[in-house]
Amino acid sequence: MHFRIHNEGWVFIVISIILTIIIFPFFNILGFLLLIITFCIFYFFRDPIRSIPKEDVIVSPADGQIVFIGESNLPEECNISGKYLKISIFLDVFNVHVNRLPTSGKIKKIKYVEGKFFRANVDKSSKENERNIIVIENDSNEIFVVCQIAGLIARRIVCDLKENQNVIKGDRFGIIKFGSRVDIYLPSNFKPLVAYNQIVVGGETILANPKNIKEISNSIKN
């Protein structure tokens, strides 16, 4: 089996299965629709195995489409000045919504911010939507920030990390339910290896290669 179901999905799946079993014998059409919904829930909460690059590169924290690449300040909640490279990824309802760590290091800060629920593919969602901000410091004392951002449909952000926790690149760290956005901020000297509108895969697609490593081997399965 090359994927599993994220733990957050089982409640929805069990409820949907029970309703399907109860209703199907009496209302076939409604029962059939519930059966389709059950399969859709399975699909949404899928958590596939990924091949994580072993080398010291930065990988995408989410599946989806690149909707922004450019220079930006960090979110004000970080209390860190300076310009960073910001890359934004939009996740529609068909993408895998499990989030993965872009780099190894230590979690320096986690800040949940209440907000609105604008469409996640517009820039203002980065500052105004409900979001969870994660600050990571790597072994070279470089700062990276990942923001889990709720969207128009997404109404629940799940983060399994804790402050001062040591983390490993490519590991799962949370999920955003039903359409969302993930912003990642890299040090300004990093050069993006992705392009606007490009489709990326969480844990696999390389966003930046700071040490200009020539050969990348995807040999760690997770």
pTM over 0.75: yes
- Helix, strand, coil share (%) of the chain residues, nearest 5: 20, 40, 40
pLDDT of residue 2: 63
For the stretch 32-61, pLDDT in tens is 888 888 888 888 888 898 989 988 899 999
**188 is known as an active-site residue:** no
- Domain assignments of the chain as residue spans, ordered by start: 3-47, 51-215
Architecture of the CATH domain 51-215: Distorted Sandwich (2.70)
Alpha-carbon span 88 to 108, nearest angstrom: 21
pLDDT along the chain (222 residues), means of 10: 72 85 84 86 85 90 95 91 94 89 96 84 83 94 94 78 95 85 93 94 91 59 71
Strands 199-200 and 64-73: antiparallel
Q: Which of 180, 188, 217, 219 is catalytic?
A: 180
Q: Is 10 helix (H, G, I), strand (E, B) or coil?
A: helix
